[in-house]
Structure 1
């Protein structure tokens, strides 16, 4: 009886923790559930008893099972043949039924379907096959997106507040020193000028940070046109050679690649990746610096890889490299990689670090146009 009650209470605790986003509490409740189930099985093996219940009455395990399902905030449905039934309270509330769902959403019968739209919301379908039946969990995509946006906003505010505070504290201190120096300028006439010069320099640094933040936060929507990847990367190579003549840049482009992108934004993203590679090389032996950039098309997806022979990304910094204003380089701004990833995401693509040493970044842009029709090319 105690084990069954514990199962029920643990299930309810897990449901409440999941609803309120208390992930640590959710993990603890789930671990307790596993322990209680194991203990229940062990007791059943050691002391088998015939339950004194009336025929057809649910036992403790069934009650705990139903309590756990009902406490889950994720709608669960059972698909059997052409019939779909609700499995918990969240599903009954979503489909406004106590049992069968009529009419059932068509994507629930498609084992390859991953999404459906119902009640004006988009849902991701996570499916588990149990024989000829399927248990489908419906994940609220919009809720996930809101949670991700809230986390990103909180992180951005934290970074912004940290950087602003770091910039303002010395400015306030210098201003106070300037007041003291102004009152005693006869004793040291050059001190006030020195303080004001330092003050101006720190204020300028804070202004540059604010401009960089505004640039990152106001990335416009891509203006897509048909672009030759070869022309775009060759132009970047010429600019690179004039900017960093001592670093060798190798360009390998699959011929005949045409994509529908915002060329200015993509140039900016690729340039940020190249600059990041140069800054990494400068941490080592810059005289032997080499950067490779490769572009290819696979399954109608443009892939651009940039690698360098620098010291690589330290393991403890891999997770933070795309974070805004995060940098480990003396001359880095912490903007380039974050901005490059935003550009790729705005194009429906991705930017990932596929190897920390040697550092290899891979940008992928889907729905690329493979046509090199002259009329389309004239639009560039």
Structure 2
């Protein structure tokens, strides 16, 4: 029994050290969710260590080593310095466990009065001091909860900053890729004109290539503008079969060699922005048609149906499918594997779905099936 306790204590101690390292890295990187998780796991390990090592009540007091004391001090310092407010909650009583919590609630110990959301074990969000917080709870040994308050606005700012940095990087990359050959072709054209005998065929070829590159850059810029300036949807009740039939006529005119199957009930209606949904579904149909076009079985299916959660729209093709390693990148703005693609279609379709309170996901790799949901 003593050996088992010793190994449990050693495992808990190693876990605390690992949590301390993870918390330090998370703090430096601004990963507050990871930091909170490391702290909560540390608390659980500390409680496990205490319940395992300390003798039952009535027995002689255990001998605490100097290493355990140092470990407890490090844990308390780390807990107190954590930027995430942590509170211990038992029923309607709350205590501030670290400096961030004491500053937030202007207290040295008990939080008086305890906000209703913190006393409610089912509550997940709190509005306090003009800021929105997410409540992450964990039940500790001996009863009660430890609640970590995650600053939602701070998370949003960090995510926005990262998204902006990624967008700037993509824009810079695409613009340079588009401008570099244009500059090179312009220099070649100028050099061709300076020759004693102007080669008209060469000059025509240079200008034609220059025109195509400029048009490609223009399409990219227009796609970015469409993605960045998507207006709020204006919803109206739409007969979905009528919308699907209109898209089918356009599809047949654009891809006569492919077959499009429509699976939509005649009486199905749903409130949506038809212009935006036409654009989103068309982008998915275009993606499906181009994928199926290279296959001998060029079939595309468009189906719409209503579930308990809302309207579901699925577009499926019989093409080669999306490689698993590319599944996480296909919705990124400007990501494309097509020579003349802009990488806007799927990203814009997802933005339209989100604006309607829905989602756009890749449900199946082979055959490829996209699912767009609206609430």
TM-score range, shorter chain: 0.7 to 0.9
CA distance in 2, matches of 1:283, 1:104: 64
> Pick from 288, 302, 305: which aligns with 2:311?
302
Aligned residue in 2 for 1:86? 96
CA distance in 2, matches of 1:257, 1:75: 49
> Are 1:237 and 2:248 matched, yes or no?
yes
Question: 1:49 Cα deviation (Å)?
Answer: 7.6
> Pick from 129, 138, 159: which aligns with 1:128?
138
CA distance in 1, matches of 2:79, 2:268: 52
Aligned residue in 2 for 1:50? 63
CA distance in 2, matches of 1:187, 1:266: 52
> Pick from 294, 302, 323: which aligns with 1:314?
323
Question: CA contact under 8 A between 2:258 and 2:293: conserved in structure 1?
Answer: no
> Pick from 318, 330, 335: which aligns with 1:326?
335
Question: CA contact under 8 A between 1:313 and 1:359: conserved in structure 2?
Answer: yes
Aligned residue in 1 for 2:129? 119
TM-score (norm 1): 0.80
1:218-367 matches, cutoff 5 A: 218-254=229-265, 256-285=267-296, 288-366=297-375
CA distance in 2, matches of 1:160, 1:345: 23
Q: 1:231-275 deviations in whole A, cap 9, x for unaligned?
A: 322322232233323322222235654332211101110111111
Change (3 A) 1:245 1:199: closer
CA distance in 1, matches of 2:314, 2:201: 53
CA distance in 2, matches of 1:314, 1:116: 42
Question: CA contact under 8 A between 2:123 and 2:135: conserved in structure 1?
Answer: yes
Total equivalences in the alignment: 346
Partner of 1:104: helix, strand, or coil? coil
Question: 1:107 Cα deviation (Å)?
Answer: 1.6
Question: CA contact under 8 A between 1:74 and 1:90: conserved in structure 2?
Answer: yes
Change (3 A) 1:300 1:9: closer
Aligned residue in 2 for 1:369? none
1:135-214 matches, cutoff 5 A: 135-186=146-197, 188-214=199-225
> Pick from 42, 67, 70: which aligns with 1:60?
70
Change (3 A) 1:169 1:347: same
Aligned residue in 1 for 2:26? 18
TM-score (norm 2): 0.81
Give the alignment's Cα RMSD to 1 decimal. Answer: 3.3
Structure 1 range deviating more: 325-334 or 353-362: 325-334
Q: 1:126-152 deviations in whole A, cap 9, x for unaligned?
A: 221236422221111111111221121
CA distance in 1, matches of 2:187, 2:317: 46
Change (3 A) 1:174 1:15: same
Question: 1:230 Cα deviation (Å)?
Answer: 3.0
Partner of 2:285: helix, strand, or coil? helix
Change (3 A) 1:312 1:185: farther
CA distance in 1, matches of 2:72, 2:109: 18
Question: 1:99 Cα deviation (Å)?
Answer: 1.5
CA distance in 2, matches of 1:107, 1:233: 46
CA distance in 2, matches of 1:197, 1:145: 46
Question: 1:22 Cα deviation (Å)?
Answer: 5.4
CA distance in 2, matches of 1:144, 1:250: 43
Change (3 A) 1:183 1:52: closer
CA distance in 2, matches of 1:331, 1:137: 49
CA distance in 2, matches of 1:90, 1:7: 24
Q: 1:259-299 deviations in whole A, cap 9, x for unaligned?
A: 322111011101111111111112322xx212222222222
Question: CA contact under 8 A between 2:227 and 2:344: conserved in structure 1?
Answer: yes
Change (3 A) 1:256 1:90: farther
Change (3 A) 1:167 1:185: farther
Aligned residue in 1 for 2:8? none
